[in-house]
Amino acid sequence: MPVKKITISEFIALSKQHHVVDVRSPGEFTHAHFPGAYSLPLFTDEERKVVGTAYKQQGKQKAIKIGLEYFGSKMNQMIEAAEAICNEQQISTKTILVHCWRGGMRSAGVAWLLDLYGFDVYTLIGGYKTFRNWTLQQMENPYQFNVLGGYTGSAKTEMLHCIRAAQHAVIDLEGIAHHKGSAFGAIGQSPQPSQEMFENTLALQLYQQTQHNLQQVVWVEDESQRIGNLNIPHSLWKTIRNSPLYFMDIPFEHRLKFIFQQYGHLEIQSLIDSTKRIEKRLGPNETKITIQYLKENNIDAAFSLLLQYYDKMYLAALQKRDNVQSKIKRFVFNEVEPDQNAAALITQLKDNNGTIN
């Protein structure tokens, strides 16, 4: 069966059931890639540089000859790697989706080899560049969001997971970003992805949740535009900011207890370092007192000061929204109980609106 060239929509649809292999160099893949793709590089980073230089200085044919020298010695290795990818998930079919940067010679060469060996091969027209353009287009869509808000310690992320478990569409922005959003949000998290990778994953999840139906309501957590070192794309963030906000109003002391459970076991120096990062906004005196509490292992007192700071910050950000009173709906809960509060929220929305997406 000959290699088949497919559009980005066909590529994304097929990626749900077949493996995607990215034949760009390791450096290109590490920076950002199609979520879930496997790296099967035709060239190393150095080899890619050599071939590219030859192409610019000596022409296409010289670059091809150099590339073939690299490729020839790797053919058997690439076949075995492709077989291992298919066997990893115990998928009987040998169907593979292949792409490079622009759908050019790298993907064509690997696709030819895999097809020759007996794989069913599809290549993405326009390569990864086409996917990136698709990603950026997704950020412009008029999505319908329900925004879950509340002061720090309200267990918003945990509530989102409960809402997802109840079969509602959810995007966990902090989960994709590998960061909990505050100055303390990187502690215990894996390294954040690149901005490009963050956008790729976010775009694909949005597409999967809405499934061509932009009227599908998607739940997200109320976030600032910046999550750690990453930014929610501006168009998407504006859409989120103009969406209905469901504010969880939970007593301070219960939120403080929840924060202690989440962060109280962390290494003291990490907490001190994170506190120092917000010194300008927290204030020099408050920072000094908080750090002293941490050094004395008086975690509860330190977190109490920090929680008061974050409450003020959140309230100030809330009041800066346009027409906030028309968008916000307040729900009062006595405890931080994510599963119970999520169920109560969904029930109240059903009772008020007759239906909930």
List pLDDT tens digits, range 92-146.
Answer: 568 999 999 998 999 999 999 999 999 999 999 999 999 999 999 999 999 999 9
Cα angle, residue 123 at apex, residues 118 and 125 outer, rounded to 5° = 160
The residue with tokens 């403080």 is 256
* Residue 291: other Cβ atoms inside 10 A: 18
Domain 142-353 has CATH 2.60.40.10: no
Q: What is the pLDDT of residue 327?
A: 86
φ and ψ of 119, to 5 deg: -75, 150
Q: What is the pLDDT of residues 264-321, one digit of tens each?
A: 899 999 999 999 999 999 999 999 999 999 999 999 999 999 999 999 999 998 888 8
CATH 3.40.50.300 residue ranges in the chain? 142-353
CATH superfamily assigned to domain 4-135: Rhodanese-like domain (3.40.250.10)
Query: How does DSSP classify residue 337?
Result: -
Q: What is the pTM of this model?
A: 0.93
DSSP-assigned letters across all residues of 230-269 = EE--HHHHHHHHTS-EEEEE--HHHHHHHHHHHHTTS-HH
Enter the tokens of residue 186.
């990187």
CATH 3.40.250.10 residue ranges in the chain? 4-135
d(C-alpha 265, C-alpha 226), whole Å: 26
Q: Which helix (H) or strand (E) holds 173?
A: helix 173-177
Active site residues: 100
d(C-alpha 16, C-alpha 210), whole Å: 15
Q: Which helix (H) or strand (E) holds 221?
A: strand 217-221
343 Cβ partners below 8 Å, 6+ apart? 162, 166
Q: Which helix (H) or strand (E) holds 98?
A: strand 95-99
